[in-house]
Amino acid sequence: MALPRLAVLVLPGGTDFSYQPFSPLQPSAMRMYPFTASIQARFGPLVRVHQAGYRVRGWNGGQASPMPYARNALEQVKKRYPDTPIALIGHSMGGRIVANLGDDDAVTDILALAPWWQFADWRKIHDGARVLAIHGENDNLTRPRRTEKGIEELQARGLDARFISVPHGGHAMLDHIGLWQGEALGFIGRALND
């Protein structure tokens, strides 16, 4: 089987503190399946899309509980598709995870959906990555202004970084579905064309 032109790793969200087991049926994981399915359906054999899971649902402070599992998922994608550019897509806590994984040079593109960026997580993203952050202006769980600030900092560093505000949008991406989905598909299309 030929290697794809782009590998996509999808990182679902979670919660601040929780040691409950992660489940692929929890809402934060299920929220990402339409992205995974629509990307694979639209781009077919040009991409391979994988969705990660973690041991527990929470970030859990300095433990950063999902990071070893997310880092392992990234390493598995790199091993499976050697020398293939990798795009990361993360929602909420998954948006924090993709920023932290953005230090890996194999990562060429990062899509952060309503990211839970804390302590300037975006500063870990390497200079060669392209970044798109989308955030609902009425999100009351994560902070759209912090996301916008992160993108402004990345732009000041010279990265190809964009911020899209979703008018009246909330955190769960259940509003303006066409915008969220359309921008994700456009993001992958641009990654394939570069």
Per-residue pLDDT, 106: 97
Number of Cβ within a 10 Å radius of residue 37: 12
Cα 39 to Cα 160: distance, rounded to the nearest angstrom: 22
41-42-48-50 Cα dihedral, nearest 10 degrees = -60
- For residue 1, what pLDDT is reported? 60
pLDDT for residue 51: 97
Q: Check: CB of residue 112 under 8 Å from CB of residue 90.
A: yes
Q: pTM score > 0.85 for this model? A: yes
The DSSP result for 62-97, as a single string, is GG-TTHHHHHHHHHHHHHHSTT--EEEEEETHHHHH
**Which CA distances in Å does 118 have to 34, 44, 151?**
26, 35, 13
List strands edge to edge, sheet with 86-91.
Answer: 47-51, 6-11, 86-91, 107-113, 130-136, 160-166
What local confidence, expressed as pLDDT, does residue 2 receive?
Answer: 75
Domain ranges of the chain: 6-193
- Residue 61: strand pairing partners: none
- CA Rg, the chain, in Å? 15
Give the mean pLDDT per block of 10 residues along the chain (194 residues): 90 97 95 96 97 97 97 98 97 98 98 95 97 97 97 98 96 93 97 90
Residues 88/70, Cβ–Cβ less than 8 Å: no
Which of the listed CATH numbers 3.40.50.1820, 3.40.109.10, 1.10.10.10, 3.40.1280.10 matches domain 6-193?
Answer: 3.40.50.1820
Q: How far apart are CA 37 and CA 149, in angstroms?
A: 31
Q: Which pLDDT does position 55 carry in this prediction?
A: 97
pLDDT at 42: 97
